[in-house]
Structure 1
Amino acid sequence: MFRHKDTFKNIKKHAMTILFTLVILFISIWYYAGPRTKKYIFIDGGAHNGESLLAFQKTGLYKKYPWKIFAIEANPYKIKNLKRMPGITVINKAIWNKNGTVEFILSKYDSTSSLYNNRTIKQPKTITVESFDFGQWLCRKFSVNDFIIISLDIEGAEYEVLDKMFADGTIKYVDRFYIEFHSSKLKQFQGRENELLSKLEKSGVLGGFDSVENMLDGSCNGWIDTIEK
């Protein structure tokens, strides 16, 4: 008799374990594959003093959707100003093609900075900053169903970052790229623009090859208001 009771208890225990496992599995499937609210994301890569953010906030598109805004800037001396801007997530890291640390070059008065030394950086000084794999961050943070606009002005790092994003497929997370190239300052990257612009155009994500604030001049005014996924 006692043996039957023990057997029944064991069966009940195993059944509860199986049921609990199935519930967790169902919740996981629902979370990752089920219906999900689309997010509207604007990322200012190489945010500097927030010029692109301010330009974007003046557009009709900004007023149309509930945007989540990220300002990413490697220069630690620029972070204080960015953090004064309300409703913005500030990340003090260098956009790069891998996680780790990188040597980051600043001008004496912190007016310009880059991972690469160039003729525009006067009296350069080098600091070590944290870097992260930008494409993989997009992959972990967002969904391909989200609407993501990126303004990228990272003083030469764009070549390595875009190469990695095309290689690992994370470019598919981006809906529009507004990117400023810097081969005029960095001779080692001369000729790369056409190759990358062609890839961006073929992938359907190229919005413009300049930063957002520069795209909002008289000839391009209103360009961003027409964007739809």
Structure 2
Amino acid sequence: MGLRATLRKQCRRFGWRIPNWALDEYTAPMRRMARLLSKNDVIIDLGAHIGNASIEFSHYAREVYAFEPNNTVFAELTARTKPYRNIRLFNNAVSDKADQMDLYFEEGKPDRFYEGSTIISGKSNVTYANHHVVEVMGIVDVLDMIKGDSIVIKMDIEGAEYLVLDAILTSSHLDRIKKIYVECHADRIEGLAEAKEKTLAAAAAAGFSEKLDFTWP
């Protein structure tokens, strides 16, 4: 293990902020976005995975609500975020409404954690051979439970992003949301490109377009 990797591991172990020069190429863009936050911001991290983004956010924001439905990944997320007292963990998927659904995933490689778990059918890089039932929270219910008027949402939810965005756009919470960072999966799910166009039109009609950012790493 090299010097930078060793330092990253030690910093995360003790809850310290990793020096900029020691960040890897995956986490560095997260740091650039995290530095735009303020201590009044509350973060909703949808698809938190093993916590890299949540940890970056935690150094700059007031509180982080991290959602990860994959049980194996959630166990690692729990271990890695233990030193960070302003990160709250939820072993749930998030969509447009509360439900119980099958979460589909692939087995992770040794020392790696699968990143493509989904509740959406038809994802091109998932075999749909493995699944377990997960509790799904509705995004409006999530927003209802969070206090504060400066909310930043990051979503990497493998195809459910437009269900969540549409629910947000028809909610009473628009004024509370400062920014939404989205990773779009339209190249992997048939019909998602059309869903994106409809969502973008609805966002424009609501005067919300400038708060949407589709450049999440």
Structure 1 unmatched runs, 5+: 1-37, 215-229
Partners of 1:152 and 1:172 lie apart in 2 by 19
The residue aligned with 1:131 is 136
Paired positions, count: 167
Q: CA RMSD for the aligned pairs?
A: 2.3
Which protein is bigger by CA-based radius of gyration?
1
Partners of 2:202 and 2:56 lie apart in 1 by 27
Partners of 1:181 and 1:91 lie apart in 2 by 22
Secondary structure of the 1:150 match is strand
- Name the structure with the higher helix share: 1
The residue aligned with 1:75 is 70
For the Cα contact (< 8 Å) 1:73–1:93, is it kept in 2? yes
For the Cα contact (< 8 Å) 1:138–1:173, is it kept in 2? no
Structure 2 unmatched runs, 5+: 1-38
The residue aligned with 1:95 is 94
Matches within 5 A, 1:214-229: 214=217
C-alpha spacing 1:183/1:204, structure 2 compared with 1 (3 Å): closer
For the Cα contact (< 8 Å) 1:72–1:90, is it kept in 2? yes
The residue aligned with 1:219 is none
Aligned-pair distance for 1:53? 2.1
Q: Deviations over 1:103-157 (max 9, x none)?
A: 11111336120012412124631211001111222123224xx211111110111
Q: Deviations over 1:151-171 (max 9, x none)?
A: 111011111111122223333
Q: Deviations over 1:64-87 (max 9, x none)?
A: xx5111111111111122223122
Aligned-pair distance for 1:196? 2.2
More moved, 200-209 vs 100-109: 200-209
Q: Percent identity?
A: 24
Partners of 2:196 and 2:65 lie apart in 1 by 25
Secondary structure of the 1:190 match is helix
Partners of 1:43 and 1:130 lie apart in 2 by 17
C-alpha spacing 1:45/1:75, structure 2 compared with 1 (3 Å): same
Secondary structure of the 2:141 match is helix
Partners of 2:193 and 2:120 lie apart in 1 by 14
Aligned-pair distance for 1:179? 0.8
TM-score of the two chains, using structure 2 as the length reference: 0.68
